[in-house]
Structures are given as C-alpha cells and as structure tokens.
C-alpha cells in the first residue's frame, strides 16, 4: 500500500479522498490555488503546496506545477478526483513516466473511451446495445443525409471528442441537418480541437441510467448496480438515486454483466461508469463511459456499503479486488441532492461571497460531503457545488422523507443556493411516483413561469 498520496483537486472531493487516505493510514498532500488558501482540504491534509493562481488553467490544470509538487513531497501516487485532470490521458501518461502511480484507469483506457466513436465501435463488438446511428465518422452532408434517412428523424449530431452534452445538435429534417452539420463541425473544432462528428437517432424523453464498475489490475471486475441520473438541468445533475425505480433485479443483472464484459474487453482498471439511455419502452442503449470516480458515487456507496475511493486506491496499489460479485447486494434506497451556490429563482445564476451562517444537516442516515464552513468565502473561479446530501432509507419513500428532513435543516446565509429547488422537487407528485425523464426539470421550470 502507498504511504503518501497527492490529491490533485479541491472542494468536497479533495476532502473525500483525504478521509479515505486517513482510514487507510496514508499521508496526504493537498495542492491549492491562491484562491483556495483558506480551503479545508489545505488544513486537513498533512502537507499542502500552492500550485498557482486562482484560474484552474494556472493551478488545478497546471500539469508541471502538480508534478513538481508530487516530486518535492515524494508521493507515490496522485488521485485526480473528478473534473480537472481526471480524464486527461496525457496527464496519466506523465505520471506513469515520472514513476508516480495515477489512481485511475490506464492512459489507454482514458483515450479509448474519450473518443466516443471508438467507444461505440468497441461496445458494439461485445454486444452492448447501441443507439442506432453511424459506426464511423460522418464526413460530409451527403453521408449525414444518407444515415439520417436510414435511421429516421429526429437525429442528433455529436462530437467524437465531446461528451457531457457539449456540442450536440438535434435535427428534425434534412434542412436542419444540413444547416447544423457545418455548425456542429465548427463547434467541435473550437471546443475539443477535433472537428469529427457522428450521428445517432435522437431518443426522446429518455432516462439516464449508469452502471458503476470496479476492476483490478488482474482482470477481476464487478458491477455495483445502477444510478438514476435523469434529474438534471443543462447537463448538470441535480439529484441522483440508487437503485432506479425502473430497473428490476433481472435488468440490473443483465446490464451489469454486459458492463463487466465491456470492461474486460478493453482491459479496464479502476472505478468506471457506463452511461445508458433508457427509452419509454425500457430499451437501454450504451451512450458513453466515464473513466473517473463520479460526483454521485456516494449513492452507490450507501446501498452497497463499499467505499469506492478506498477501492480505487487499493486497486492502484496493486491489490486484488476485495469483493466478488456474489458479495454485492443492493440494500435499501439512497438519494443524493447536489447543493450548489446558484440562485434557482434567477435562472440558476452562480452566487459567491462569504458564508455568514451555516447549519449543516446531520442525524441518522444522513451523510453530507462538503468543504464549506461558517466564515468561508466561496471563490467565484470554480464549480458551484457546495455540498452533497446523501440519505439512505429502507426504501425510496423512506429515503425521500429523510431527504426532506435533511433539507429542512440546511441553512446557508446569505448565499443563494439550490436548496429550495430541491425542497420543491421533493413535493412534486410525478417525481415522488418516479415518473420522470431527462427533460423533467426543464418541464417543471417551464411550467412555473
Ligand atoms: C442523446 C440523447 C438522446 N438521443 N443521444 C447528453 C449528454 C451526453 N452524454 C449525451 N446526451 C444525450 N444524448 C441520443 N441519441 C439525449 C441526451 C441528453 C441527456 C442525456 C443524459 C442526461 C441528460 C441529458 C439531457 C439532454 C440530452
């Protein structure tokens, strides 16, 4: 096992990783930007090194500064958390060449899933159901029209190097396809430095369901069930659950086994997530794979009792998986609310400033992953996520009531947050019945005005 790890991240996930390290008896090194001097991760780690100015590009994305910090403090491994460098194959490669263990998948894993077309081709080979569409890059308008005629409108244009919803365009006919085609290529070039695009049938009102997997360096792979992630706005998830109320034991087993086969096929190592769309007839389609630990990992931890961060560290240190598939049981129901510093009554506009008064939820079956404290000044430079509330009940109705109770205890003054959005959501009859898709939040917000 490692004796010292550097955490190349900030905020709640940096704290989450430091806590896992402490429980494993591993010393920790925090890195921080000039804007994060007063951050808790700096205080909680055994050592801390300033790696640059406030903008991420000069600090948390500054590879030479992070590698230097790792060399100076003589760490054996780096945990990238999520965002920033977590899915940067180049960074993972540099770690490798500096003999620093990257706590995550191999550079090859990251590369092969970062190319969404390549991911589609690989997943098709092992029999994962794909959304109907192109199986290679769409080069010109003529090809685009031909494919769209075959699969039928509406279609969606996606960037090969995209992901997370950026640079997608929905087209309902030949005319909109032609006008969107060039724009999509230009946007892809601008955003991802790669103009390659592909086309899929557009699935209307789908649910977003993802499967968590864990793979060690010896080809042992398990799945940890699904997370329901349909409650989102502008590709930012607002609430996640496990299990999903539309996935039964049989479907979970089938999806899970397919994901294990897929991960084996690409020699995947570490924690990973396969994203699926579920249409209204409960057909599921592979969408993409995330080669990192995700924000919403705690709902899986709650229902399985497995510490995913500790498992990532153990796997990176060369230990065998400590669980077999038979050991995994989904117990009860977990829900996470992401509380962000955003004014939900003002189009989710980001808010910043000093927290004058804070009361965090607590009590039975409530976990709060956060980095804020009373007197903390929220910097305007980074992600607006302040806290994740995770509750665990015997079933979904109980989890919902615990969440309602937890949200009612949460006070942050004078910062505008999404707490009231979540409290309203938990009163919505359709949400309570589990009847929603990825369009649900847009639909209820549109009705409000
Ligand atoms: C889709 C889709 C419908 N049909 N692909 C959004 C994020 C990116 N990973 C892919 N996304 C979508 N791809 C087809 N063929 C709808 C979405 C989508 C979505 C997916 C998951 C969660 C929220 C979403 C919100 C809008 C669109």
pLDDT digits (tens, 9 = 90+) for 185-244: 999 999 888 999 999 999 999 999 999 999 999 999 999 999 999 999 999 999 999 999
232 CA closest ligand 1 atom index? 23
Cα separation, 158 vs 188, in Å, equals: 9
Q: Whose CA is nearest to atom 8 of ligand 1?
A: 165
Instruction: Tell me whether strands 77-79 and 4-7 are parallel, antiparallel or unpaired.
Output: parallel
Boundary-marking domain end, from 201, 221, 238: 201
Q: Number of folded domains in the chain?
A: 3
Site of tokens 């993409």: 288
Q: Whose CA is nearest to atom 9 of ligand 1?
A: 164
The whole-model pTM stands at 0.97
Residue 122 forms part of a structural domain: no
CATH code for position 40: 3.40.50.20
Residue to mutate, 148, 152, 156, 165, ligand 1, most ligand atoms under 8 Å from C-beta: 165
pLDDT value, residue 447: 83
292 is annotated as an active-site residue: yes
Cα separation, 417 vs 412, in Å, equals: 8
Asked whether residue 356 falls in the same domain as residue 221, the answer is yes
Q: Which of 376, 315, 338 is nearest to 39 (CA)?
A: 376
Asked whether residue 300 falls in the same domain as residue 262, the answer is yes
Residue 108 forms part of a structural domain: no
Which residues line ligand 1 at a C-beta cut-off of 6 Å? 131, 156, 163-165, 200-203, 206, 208, 232, 235, 277, 287-288, 438
Can you read off the two tokens belonging to residue 114?
């970062």
Q: List the domain range (segments joined by +) for residue 370.
A: 207-448
Mean pLDDT of 368-378: 97
Instruction: Tell me whether strands 27-33 and 4-7 are parallel, antiparallel or unpaired.
Output: parallel
Boundary-marking domain end, from 181, 201, 221: 201
- Ligand 1 centre to CA of 230 (Å) is 10
- Ligand 1 centre to CA of 41 (Å) is 34
Cα separation, 277 vs 287, in Å, equals: 7
What's the chain's average pLDDT?
A: 96
Q: Whose CA is nearest to atom 7 of ligand 1?
A: 165
Q: Whose CA is nearest to atom 20 of ligand 1?
A: 208
Residue 121 forms part of a structural domain: no
Residue 116 forms part of a structural domain: no
Asked whether residue 40 falls in the same domain as residue 91, the answer is yes
Asked whether residue 195 falls in the same domain as residue 240, the answer is no
Asked whether residue 171 falls in the same domain as residue 301, the answer is no
Q: Which of 217, 215, 214, 220 is nearest to 318 (CA)?
A: 217
- Ligand 1 centre to CA of 199 (Å) is 13
- Ligand 1 centre to CA of 42 (Å) is 37
Residue to mutate, 166, 208, 240, 275, ligand 1, most ligand atoms under 8 Å from C-beta: 208
Q: Whose CA is nearest to atom 21 of ligand 1?
A: 208
Residue 357 forms part of a structural domain: yes
pLDDT value, residue 163: 74
275 CA closest ligand 1 atom index? 9
Per residue, the 3-state secondary structure of the chain, as one string, reads CCCEEEECCCHHHHHHHHHHHHHHCCEEEEEEEHHHCCCHHHHHCCEEEEEECCCHHHCCCCHHHHHHHHHHHCCCEEECCCCCCCCCHHHHHHHHHCCCEECCCCHHHHHHHHCHHHHHHHHHHCCCCECCECCCCCCCHHHHHHHHHHHCCCEEEEECCCECCECCEEECCHHHHHHHHHHHHHHHHHHHCCCCEEEEECCCCCEEEEEEEEECCCCCEEEEEEEEEEEEECCEEEEEEECCCCCCHHHHHHHHHHHHHHHHHCCCCEEEEEEEEECCCCCEEEEEEECCCCCCHHHHHHHHCCCHHHHHHHHHCCCCCCCCHHHCCCCCEEEEEEEECEEHHHCCEECCEECCEEECCCCCCEEEEECCCCCCEECCCCCCEEEEEEEEECCHHHHHHHHHHHHHHCEEECCCCCHHHHHHHCCCHHHHHCCCCCCHHHHHHHHHC
Instruction: Tell me whether strands 4-7 and 155-159 are parallel, antiparallel or unpaired.
Output: unpaired
Can you read off the two tokens belonging to residue 175?
């005319």
204 CA closest ligand 1 atom index? 3
Asked whether residue 95 falls in the same domain as residue 226, the answer is no
Cα separation, 174 vs 329, in Å, equals: 48
Asked whether residue 176 falls in the same domain as residue 244, the answer is no
User: With the C-alpha atoms ordered 87, 93, 94, 99, is the resulting torsion angle positive or negative?
Assistant: positive
Residue 364 forms part of a structural domain: yes
Residue 111 forms part of a structural domain: no
pLDDT value, residue 135: 87
133 CA closest ligand 1 atom index? 15
Residue to mutate, 172, 191, 235, ligand 1, most ligand atoms under 8 Å from C-beta: 235
pLDDT value, residue 166: 76
Task: Specify the range with the lowest mean pLDDT, choosing from 197-211, 344-358, 361-375, 435-449.
Answer: 435-449
Residue 118 forms part of a structural domain: no
Asked whether residue 308 falls in the same domain as residue 433, the answer is yes
The pLDDT-based confidence of 278 (bands split at 50, 70, 90) is very high
- 84 dihedral zone (left: phi>0; alpha: psi -120 to 50; beta): left
Asked whether residue 214 falls in the same domain as residue 281, the answer is yes
- 431 dihedral zone (left: phi>0; alpha: psi -120 to 50; beta): alpha
Residue to mutate, 160, 241, 284, 287, ligand 1, most ligand atoms under 8 Å from C-beta: 287
What residues contact 354, with CB distance under 8 A and at least 6 apart?
A: 375, 376, 377, 378
pLDDT value, residue 427: 98
Site of tokens 């919403």: 296
pLDDT of 449 > 60? The answer is: no
pLDDT of 381 > 80? The answer is: yes
- Ligand 1 centre to CA of 69 (Å) is 38
The pLDDT-based confidence of 167 (bands split at 50, 70, 90) is confident
CATH code for position 181: 3.30.1490.20
Asked whether residue 366 falls in the same domain as residue 385, the answer is yes
Catalytic residue among 120, 207, 292, 314: 292
CATH code for position 379: 3.30.470.20
Q: Whose CA is nearest to atom 5 of ligand 1?
A: 202
Cα separation, 76 vs 58, in Å, equals: 24
| Contact present, 47 and 55 (Cβ < 8 Å) | no
Mean pLDDT of 16-44: 98
Asked whether residue 316 falls in the same domain as residue 438, the answer is yes
pLDDT value, residue 23: 98
- Ligand 1 centre to CA of 204 (Å) is 9
Boundary-marking domain end, from 150, 178, 201: 201
pLDDT value, residue 369: 98
pLDDT of 448 > 80? The answer is: no
Can you read off the two tokens belonging to residue 227?
């997370």
Q: Over the stretch 106-162, which tens digit does the pLDDT of each residue have?
A: 999 999 999 999 999 999 999 999 999 998 999 999 999 999 999 999 999 999 888
202 CA closest ligand 1 atom index? 4
Q: Whose CA is nearest to atom 11 of ligand 1?
A: 165
Asked whether residue 288 falls in the same domain as residue 319, the answer is yes
Residue 257's φ and ψ, nearest 5 degrees, are: -65, -40
Sheet strand arrangement including 270-278: 284-290, 270-278, 207-215, 221-233, 236-242, 333-340, 385-393, 366-370
């Amino acid at each position: 096992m490692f004796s010292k790890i550097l955490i190349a991240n900030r905020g709640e996930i940096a704290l989450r990783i430091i806590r896992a390290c402490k429980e494993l008896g591993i010393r920790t090194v925090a890195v921080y930007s000039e804007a994060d001097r007063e951050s808790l991760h700096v205080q909680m780690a055994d050592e801390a090194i300033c790696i640059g100015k406030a903008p991420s590009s000069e600090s948390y994305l500054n590879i030479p500064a992070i590698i230097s910090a790792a060399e100076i403090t003589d760490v054996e491994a780096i945990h990238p958390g999520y965002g920033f460098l977590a899915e940067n194959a180049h960074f993972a490669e540099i770690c490798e060449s500096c003999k620093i263990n990257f706590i995550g998948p191999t550079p090859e894993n990251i590369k092969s899933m970062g190319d969404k077309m390549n991911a589609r081709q690989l997943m098709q080979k092992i029999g994962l159901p794909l959304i109907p569409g192109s199986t290679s890059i769409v080069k010109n308008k003529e090809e685009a029209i031909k494919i769209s005629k075959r699969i039928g409108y509406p279609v969606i244009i996606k960037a090969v190097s995209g992901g997370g919803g950026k640079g997608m365009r929905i087209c309902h006919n030949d005319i909109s396809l032609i006008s969107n085609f060039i724009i999509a290529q230009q946007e892809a070039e601008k955003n991802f430095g790669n103009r390659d695009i592909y086309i899929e049938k557009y699935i209307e009102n789908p649910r977003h369901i993802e499967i968590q997997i864990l793979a060690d360096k010896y080809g042992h792979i398990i799945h940890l069930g699904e997370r329901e992630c349909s409650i989102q706005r502008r590709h930012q998830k607002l609430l996640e659950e496990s299990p999903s109320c539309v996935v039964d034991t049989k479907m979970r087993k089938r999806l899970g086994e397919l994901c294990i086969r897929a991960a084996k096929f690409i020699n995947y190592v570490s924690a990973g997530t396969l994203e699926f769309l579920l249409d209204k007839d409960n057909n599921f389609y592979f969408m993409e794979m995330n080669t990192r630990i995700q924000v919403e990992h705690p709902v899986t931890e709650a229902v399985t009792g497995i510490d995913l961060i500790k498992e990532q560290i153990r796997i990176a240190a060369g230990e065998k998986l400590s669980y077999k598939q038979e050991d995994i049981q989904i117990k009860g129901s977990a829900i996470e609310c992401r509380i962000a510093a955003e004014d939900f009554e003002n189009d989710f506009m980001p808010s910043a400033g000093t927290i004058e008064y804070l009361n965090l939820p607590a009590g039975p079956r409530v976990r709060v992953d956060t980095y804020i404290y009373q007197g903390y000044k929220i910097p305007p430079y980074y992600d607006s996520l302040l806290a994740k509330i995770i509750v665990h009940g015997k079933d979904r109705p109980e989890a919902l009531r615990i969440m309602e109770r937890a949200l009612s205890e949460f006070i942050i003054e004078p910062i505008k947050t999404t707490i009231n959005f979540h409290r309203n959501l938990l009163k919505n009859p359709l949400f309570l019945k589990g009847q929603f898709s990825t369009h649900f939040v847009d639909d209820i917000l549109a009705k409000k005005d």
